[in-house]
Amino acid sequence: MKHTDKKNEMPLRDYSWIIFLPFVALGWMAFKAALENAAALIVWLVYSLFLLFPILLILRYPVLTETGIRRTFAGISYRFVPWPEVRDVMRVYNQAYTHGMMTLMVTTTQGHVYRPDEKGYIPPAQRRAFFREWIAGKSFMIDCSGKKSGPKIVAYVEKYYGPLDYDFVAEREKQHPTPKKWW
């Protein structure tokens, strides 16, 4: 198996260390709750389940390489998508859990391409089908909303994949070449 050169990789985020911080606090809370009463322990268990879900989302991040996109969970690679397997890459608003952030939506050859409406989101009639494919891993999103890192990520994808198939930012700038002054 050929190993890629680490200099040509672009890990987009690695917060795998963060999983330990809440559990240290939760462990202390559990110890104190167990000393108090059983009801406090049940509250702690419910709280820990609600805290675990966002942590799982943070730990899932892609790594861009010259041969494709390596999808990782807490630094452990669980799927590799080579560039020839990518059907479509477009820059739109995040469709899933944090609306308002610009992302690269990557669709593999198994998924369908859903173009956004004039607001930058998947039309409501197609959202259910899109979310099914997103959960199945047929399409996924890469955050490119950072002012410094966003252009670097887009440039990296364009270098190895080619030009973006659809760019909502470019379309929006054509419609509104001068931004409004709000204050």
**Residue 182: pLDDT above 50?**
no
**Integer Cα distance of 140 and 177 in angstroms:** 30
**Residue 11: pLDDT above 50?**
yes
Span 78-100, mean pLDDT? 81
**Residue 15: pLDDT above 70?**
no
Q: What pTM was estimated for this model as a whole?
A: 0.67
Write the DSSP symbol of residue 179. P
DSSP, collapsed to helix, strand or coil, labels residue 7 as helix
CB-hemisphere CA count at 13 Å for 148?
1
For the chain, the structural domain boundaries read 16-58, 83-175
Q: Residue 26 to residues 10, 20, 46, 52: CA-CA distances in angstroms?
A: 33, 10, 11, 11
**Residue 144: pLDDT above 60?**
yes
Is residue 177 very low, low, confident or very high in pLDDT (cuts 50, 70, 90)?
low
Average pLDDT, the chain: 76
Please tell me the chain's helix, strand, coil percentages from 3-state DSSP, rounded to the nearest 5: 45, 25, 35
Q: Which long-range contacts (CB under 8 A, 24 or more apart) does 69-73 make?
A: 69/106, 69/142, 70/9, 71/137, 71/140
* Calculated CA dihedral for residues 90, 140, 68, 118, nearest 10 degrees: 0
Looking at 32-46, 86-100, 154-168, which range is the least confident one?
32-46
Span 80-107, mean pLDDT? 82
Please count the other Cβ atoms lying within 10 Å of the Cβ belonging to residue 61.
20
Span 155-175, mean pLDDT? 84
pLDDT of residue 28: 72
Question: What is the CA 60 to chain-centroid distance, rounded?
Answer: 8
- What size, in residues, is the chain? 183
**Integer Cα distance of 110 and 168 in angstroms:** 23
Span 59-67, mean pLDDT? 82
**Integer Cα distance of 177 and 133 in angstroms:** 34
Please count the other Cβ atoms lying within 10 Å of the Cβ belonging to residue 36.
9
